[in-house]
Amino acid sequence: MEALTDRDGKQANTTTEIAEMVRRQSFPPKENDQYIELPPAAQAHQSVTEQAVERALFLQSVGKAPGPDKLSFGAVRLLWRWEKERIVKPAKAVVRTCRHPAMWKRASGVVIRKPGKDDYTKLKVYRSISLLSCLGKVVEKVVAELLAEEAERRGLLRDGQYGSRKRWSAIDSAAVMVDRAHPAWREGSIADVLLMDIKAAFPSVGRGRLIHTM
């Protein structure tokens, strides 16, 4: 196996050293981690319907790789055909108890080479991805839909937020931007648009480092 060198010039030669270097690079420890007390269970699980679980399942691609349990989306769909309640009941239980099963938190880490690089002895030309349980992803989408609906119902989102909202697409945000720019141009003003793509930074980058970078 080729040796790797990180940004600080430190070199990893053995399989163990390389694995540890990739792990530190891909999953740095979070800053100021705090324990948050979970709220008591309420009635949200009653909104977890068979239709909601079915939407979450069939929006997933069967081509995605499975997590540590090796249960792919194709296999979960077969189970859905045979006995839907075996998927619906765990989804309801997760919402009712406010608990995410530990087995769904486990991930398989896979290291992938970035294509088109000249020197593959550098750590920065590799990236790692996490493969989680497919069934856990289905339940995650169900919960995300419940949270989005509750946020809309309570009016918790700003009018200027378009991402991850139903019927609020990127095209809508562009139309609003153009509508605001035209009056500015007529008045002889200059309109600027600042585009920032920091979505990929959130899963593994500490808050302090992210703010400093921005």
173 alpha-carbon distance from chain centroid: 22
pLDDT of residue 204: 53
The Cα–Cα gap between 194 and 24 comes to 32
Backbone phi and psi for residue 63, each to the nearest 5 degrees, phi listed first: -85, -5
The Cα–Cα gap between 61 and 135 comes to 13
Give pLDDT tens digits along the chain (214 positions).
678 888 888 888 888 888 888 877 777 766 665 555 555 556 788 889 999 999 999 999 998 899 999 999 999 999 999 999 999 999 999 888 888 888 998 999 888 888 888 888 888 889 888 999 999 999 999 998 888 888 888 888 777 777 767 777 777 888 888 888 888 888 888 877 776 665 555 555 555 655 565 5
pLDDT of residue 72: 94
For tokens 């302090």, name the residue.
208
- Three-class DSSP labels, 145-196: HHHHHHHHHHCCCCCCCCCCECCECHHHHHHHHHHHHHHHHHCCCCCCCCCC
pLDDT of residue 141: 93
